[in-house]
């Protein structure tokens, strides 16, 4: 592998430069060629690497960075590499090492609105957007907890592009001898009874040196008179020297510049402070803890969580409060637990994963360069709703795909319906006048987004072309020349309609799957008694459950008219509990039939809860379409009323657990079926027992896993060489 790294400024004491050196060294150990592009370079060459320094003219730093990025792009075009890895955000990267926090997030929170009118803002925002935009191909190496969430919140970056790295602290940070620490104290005149407080870092403003100075000035006199603050790092010190003089602590503060003997300084120190304004990682607090130095740091330091969990210091909460930090600093310098904190920090250093960053980073680079990342399964569910039967299987199948190591993204229009953790939800814009135009624009947007993602199958839940795999009970248009042969569990079938994505395409239909989603019946979220009480139903009521995003299409009018024709005595015992929207106005008919207080609609209600609370499940769609919930009703022991055009009606017949009407059926047949069901409690009990017994068979469950297995087989067989779906 030939890998090139880019960095704006390389200097020996910079955190990004040190990380780059460690990763580059590991690449060389693995036999890879390494090239490094730098805008500025300080220090010696890195052995075994090709260094390309490209100075650029410009008064402002962002101008120089833009010109540097252009020159790097030209050089890489003339001298290609397998991967271009950036230690700073810039266009054209294959991989970005996220050593910095989210610029856009800081610009929105920490800067006034007028800042976003400046050229500086536009430059950094553009460079960051080229890395993190949803349609960018750049992979991101995150180095601390919480980084991914921050970038995803701002940009909606798909999670499959993120790779989390462990810390990479250097083993020699705690290797200095006691004598080396004493030599530092003698050299700078620090007495045995004095407290050596250490601040390490280049970038005094960002890392909060002013907060440390104010904290030292606020110490109680007996403590302050013993404290000596040493600032180790390369940066402009004049501003902070003036602040120290104003605070009258200048005699107790010493700036020693960048040092190569940081391990000896950690051996000499009694405590370390890092109250950063912004710090993606904060490697120095882990290095200090591993050397046995108690630490006080702000919670926005990426590695502060390690200090908190190990109890190797004090973590000051954010939003930052100077008075709270002052108290935390004084407590750290005087608390009796300092020896215990020191021991816990040394124990933390024994964790091998804290040193594993270079190896893990190179493994990711090798995988990306070889195209070995798992395929991305894209689910098209543009009209997704948890009560729409077409999408009943979406969340369980997506979870099953994730368990198999596949990356998953789901295209939806409305994000209100929750999806499992770890699944990327991509909200598709739908701005247009007219439904047909909105649909066309959605498909165009999805096509563009899929064109920038890694190869993988596209699974469709709607009746549309341009997909690799069709999922669901919905009928697929048949070609004039007849059906193709079956290939279990994926059967080839050509769409008859013209694809709105990319013309005619051959798709596959998931077939032969069991009706039950999980390995066992899915328990409802609420109990029968609680749900019935929530909607005002008593135990004597006979409740009919319905489910659907559009209850009109599921035959709610048919059920309503049948209930209205019942004798008054029977009608008074009936109620309807629907997980979904009514989709129509009854025009006062509910009051005429005395059902106005017996109809309950709730689009937030889980269909499983509606089934659990009901005495029977009803699905009477006007066209041939799947209910998706009939098997769940049988598994819950509920009789079912449906008609023969519903694909799952065969399950009801096989179970002998309800009424299957002819299709089409006269309305009178439904009325007679309801009269029979209401007037025959023994028959309802028999159907209920038959339903539960039928659905208890293990062969009926496992649809999600079987579907995920078929999708994985297709993905891993096709993802490496499949032609572009959206050419």
Q: How far is CA 514 from CA 508, 607, 631, in A?
A: 17, 19, 10
Yes or no: say if 494 and 484 are a contact pair by the CB < 8 Å rule. Answer: yes
Q: What is the pLDDT of residues 320-345, one digit of tens each?
A: 999 999 999 999 999 888 899 999 99
Tokens describing residue 285: 């607090």
Long-range contacts (CB closer than 8 Å, 24 or more residues apart) made by 282-288: 282/144, 283/15, 283/18, 283/167, 283/168, 283/169, 284/200, 284/201, 285/313, 286/167, 286/169, 286/348, 286/354, 287/169, 287/170, 287/173, 287/174, 287/262, 288/173, 288/198, 288/200, 288/345
Grouped pLDDT means (10 residues each) for the chain, 727 residues: 96 87 95 96 90 92 95 96 96 95 89 91 96 92 88 90 89 78 94 94 92 96 95 92 96 92 92 93 91 94 92 94 96 92 89 88 95 89 83 90 91 77 83 82 83 81 74 47 36 33 54 80 76 89 90 90 88 90 70 78 89 95 85 93 92 94 92 92 94 87 90 76 31
Q: What is the dihedral of CA 297, 299, 301, 304, to 10 degrees?
A: 70
Please give the Cα distance from 279 to 289 (Å, whole number): 17
User: Which residues, 6+ apart, have CB-to-CB distance to 727 below 8 Å?
Assistant: 502
User: Both tokens of residue 362?
Assistant: 């190179």
Beta bridge partners of 254: 230
Task: Record the tokens describing residue 678, joined without a space.
Answer: 């209401």
What pLDDT sits at residue 588? 67
The DSSP line for 397-450 is HHHHHHHTT-EEEEEES-TTS---TT-EEEEPP---SSHHHHHHHHHHHHHHHH
Residue 702 has a CB neighbour count (10 Å cut-off) of 19
CB 366 within 8 A of CB 331: no
How much is the pTM? 0.77
| β-bridge partners, 544 | 576, 616
SS3 76: helix
- Rounded Cα distance between 579 and 563, Å, is 18
Q: Is the peptide bond before 689 cis (omega within 30 degrees of 0)?
A: no
**In the prediction, which pLDDT does 367 show?**
94
Burial of 63 (0-12, 13-18, 19+ CB in 10 A): middle
On the CB side of 507, how many CA atoms lie within 13 Å of its CA? 33
Which residues are bridge partners to 232 per DSSP?
Answer: 200, 257
Spatial strand order in the sheet of 162-164: 50-53, 33-41, 2-10, 83-86, 95-98, 139-142, 162-164
Burial (CB < 10 A; 0-12, 13-18, 19+), residue 23, is: buried
Phi, psi of 331 (to 5 degrees): -65, -40
DSSP class per residue in 150-188: HHHHHH---GGGEEE------GGGG---HHHHHHHHHHT
Element of type H or E holding 570: helix 568-571
- pLDDT recorded at residue 495: 33
Q: Which residues pair with 660 in a beta bridge?
A: 642
In DSSP terms, which residues pair with 7 in a beta bridge? Answer: 38
Radius of gyration of the chain (CA): 33
Q: Give the model confidence (pLDDT) of 259-316 as tens digits.
A: 888 899 999 999 999 999 988 888 899 999 999 999 999 999 989 999 999 999 999 9
């Amino acid at each position: 592998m030939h890998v090139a790294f880019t960095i704006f400024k390389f200097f020996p004491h910079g955190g990004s430069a040190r990380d780059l050196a460690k990763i580059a060294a590991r690449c060389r150990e693995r036999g890879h060629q390494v090239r490094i592009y730098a805008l500025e370079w300080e220090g010696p060459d890195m052995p075994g690497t090709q260094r390309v320094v490209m100075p650029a003219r410009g008064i402002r730093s962002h101008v120089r960075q833009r010109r540097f990025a252009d020159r790097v792009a030209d050089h890489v075009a003339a001298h290609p590499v397998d991967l271009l890895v950036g230690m700073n955000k810039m266009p054209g990267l294959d991989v970005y090492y996220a050593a910095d926090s989210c610029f856009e997030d800081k610009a929105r929170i920490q800067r006034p609105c007028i800042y976003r009118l400046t050229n500086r803002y536009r430059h950094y925002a553009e460079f960051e957007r080229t890395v993190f935009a949803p349609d960018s191909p750049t992979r991101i190496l995150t180095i601390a907890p919480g980084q991914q969430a921050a970038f995803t919140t701002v940009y909606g970056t798909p999670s499959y592009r993120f790779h989390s790295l462990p810390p990479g602290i250097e083993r020699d940070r705690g290797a200095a001898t006691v004598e080396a620490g004493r030599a530092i104290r003698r050299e700078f005149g620090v007495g045995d009874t004095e407290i050596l407080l250490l601040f390490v870092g280049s970038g005094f403003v960002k890392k909060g040196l002013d907060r440390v100075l104010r904290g030292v000035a606020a110490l109680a006199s007996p403590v302050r008179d013993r404290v000596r603050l040493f600032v180790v790092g390369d940066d402009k010190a004049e501003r902070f020297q003036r602040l120290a003089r104003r605070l009258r602590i200048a005699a107790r503060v010493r700036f020693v510049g960048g040092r190569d003997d940081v391990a000896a300084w950690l051996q000499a120190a009694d405590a370390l402070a890092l109250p950063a304004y912004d710090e993606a990682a904060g490697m120095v607090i882990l290095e200090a803890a591993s050397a046995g130095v108690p630490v006080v740091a702000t919670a926005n330091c990426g590695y502060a969580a390690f200090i908190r969990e190990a109890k190797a210091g004090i973590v000051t909460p954010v939003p930052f409060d100077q008075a709270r930090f002052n108290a935390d600093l004084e407590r750290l310098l005087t608390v009796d637990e300092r020896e215990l904190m020191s021991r816990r920090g040394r124990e933390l250093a024994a964790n091998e994963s804290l040193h594993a960053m270079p190896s893990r980073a190179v493994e990711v680079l090798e995988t990306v360069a070889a195209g070995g990342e798992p395929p991305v399964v894209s689910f098209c569910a543009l009209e997704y709703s948890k009560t729409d039967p077409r999408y009943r299987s979406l969340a369980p199948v997506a979870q099953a795909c994730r368990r198999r190591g596949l990356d998953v993204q789901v295209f939806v229009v409305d994000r209100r319906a929750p999806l499992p953790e770890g699944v990327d939800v991509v909200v598709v814009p739908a701005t247009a006048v007219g439904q047909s135009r909105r649909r066309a624009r959605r498909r165009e947007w999805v096509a563009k987004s899929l064109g920038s993602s890694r190869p993988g199958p596209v699974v469709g839940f709607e009746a549309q072309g341009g997909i690799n795999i069709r999922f669901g009970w919905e009928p697929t248009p048949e070609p004039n020349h007849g059906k193709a042969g079956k290939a279990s569990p994926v059967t080839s079938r050509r769409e008859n309609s013209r694809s709105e994505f990319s013309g005619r395409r051959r798709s596959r239909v998931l077939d032969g799957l069991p009706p039950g989603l999980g390995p066992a019946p899915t328990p409802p979220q609420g109990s029968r008694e609680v749900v019935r009480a929530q909607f005002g139903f008593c135990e004597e009521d006979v409740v009919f459950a319905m489910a659907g995003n559009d209850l009109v299409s599921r035959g709610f009018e048919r059920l309503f008219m049948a209930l209205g024709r019942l004798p008054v005595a029977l009608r008074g015992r009936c109620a309807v509990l629907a997980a979904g929207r009514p989709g129509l106005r009854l025009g006062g008919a509910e009051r005429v039939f005395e059902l106005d207080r017996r109809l309950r609609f709730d689009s937030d209600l889980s269909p499983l809860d509606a089934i659990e609370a009901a005495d029977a499940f009803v699905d009477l769609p006007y066209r041939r379409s799947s209910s998706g919930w009939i098997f769940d009703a049988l598994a819950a022991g509920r009789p079912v009323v449906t008609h023969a055009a519903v694909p799952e009606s065969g399950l009801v017949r096989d179970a002998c657990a309800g009424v299957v009407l002819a299709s089409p059926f006269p309305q009178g047949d439904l009325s007679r079926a309801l009269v029979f069901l209401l007037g025959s409690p023994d028959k309802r009990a028999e159907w209920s027992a038959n339903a539960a017994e039928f659905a208890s068979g293990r062969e009926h469950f496992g649809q999600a896993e079987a579907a995920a297995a078929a999708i994985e087989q297709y993905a891993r067989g096709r993802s490496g060489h499949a032609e572009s779906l959206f050419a």
